Amino acid sequence: MSSAQAAKEHQGTTTEEGYERGLGSRQVQMIAIGGAIGVGLFLGAGANIAKAGPSLILMYALAGVIIFFIMRALGELLLYRPVSGSFAEYSREFLGPFFGYFTGWTYWLMWVVTGMAELTAAAIYINYWFPQIPQWVTALVFLIVLFAANLISVKLFGEIEFWFSMVKVTAIIGMIVIGLGVLTLGFSQAGDTAAVSNLWAFDGFFPKGIGSSLMTLQGVMFAYLAVELVGVTAGESENPEKTLPKAINTLPWRIALFYVGALTVILCVVKWTEFAGGASPFVKAFAEIGIPAGAGIVNFVVLTAALSSCNSGMYSTGRMLRTLADNGEAPRVFQRLSSTRTPALGIATSVVFMGIGVVLNYVVPEKAFGYVTSVATAAGIWTWLMILISHVLYRRAVDAGRLPASAFPAPGGAKLSWVAIVFLLFVTGLIAYDADSRICLFVMAGWALALAVGWFVLKRRNPEVAERREPEFEKV
CA 66 – CA 420 distance, rounded (Å): 6
Q: DSSP string covering 354-370, please?
A: HHHHHHHHHHS-HHHHH
Burial of 207 (0-12, 13-18, 19+ CB in 10 A): middle
CA 336 – CA 16 distance, rounded (Å): 11
Q: DSSP string covering 41-78, please?
A: HHTTHHHHHHHHGGGHHHHHHHHHHHHHHHHHHHHHHH
Ranges of H-type helices in 153-239: 154-185, 210-215, 217-223, 229-232
Q: What is the pLDDT of residue 56?
A: 92
State yes or no: pLDDT of 48 exceeds 90.
no
CB 369 within 8 A of CB 361: yes
Cα atoms found within 13 Å of the Cα of residue 309, Cβ hemisphere only: 33
Q: What is the pTM of this model?
A: 0.85
State yes or no: pLDDT of 111 exceeds 50.
yes
CA 243 – CA 239 distance, rounded (Å): 6
State yes or no: pLDDT of 12 exceeds 50.
no
| Average pLDDT of span 393-399 | 95
Least confident of 96-110, 247-261, 365-379, 459-473: 365-379
What is the amino acid identity at position 162?
F
25 band by pLDDT with thresholds 50, 70 and 90? low
CA 4 – CA 9 distance, rounded (Å): 9
State yes or no: pLDDT of 13 exceeds 60.
no
Q: CA angle, 268 as apex, 265 and 272 as ends, to 5°?
A: 110
429 band by pLDDT with thresholds 50, 70 and 90? very high
Model confidence pLDDT, tens digit, residues 292-345: 777 788 888 888 888 888 888 888 888 889 888 888 888 888 888 887 788 889
287 band by pLDDT with thresholds 50, 70 and 90? confident
Average pLDDT of the chain, as a whole number: 82
CA 74 – CA 62 distance, rounded (Å): 19
CA 137 – CA 134 distance, rounded (Å): 6
* Residue among 54, 40, 101 at smallest CA distance from 451: 101
Residue 306: count of CB within 10 angstroms of its CB:
28
What is the amino acid identity at position 27?
Q
State yes or no: pLDDT of 185 exceeds 70.
yes
Percent of the chain whose pLDDT exceeds 90? 24
What is the amino acid identity at position 163?
W
CA 244 – CA 231 distance, rounded (Å): 8
> Helices 281-289 and 294-326: crossing angle, nearest 10°?
160
CA 377 – CA 218 distance, rounded (Å): 8
Report the SS3 class of residue 23. strand
- Any bridge partners for residue 378, and if so which? none
Sign of CA dihedral 323, 338, 306, 56: positive
Q: What is the pLDDT of residue 264?
A: 92
Residue 96: count of CB within 10 angstroms of its CB:
14
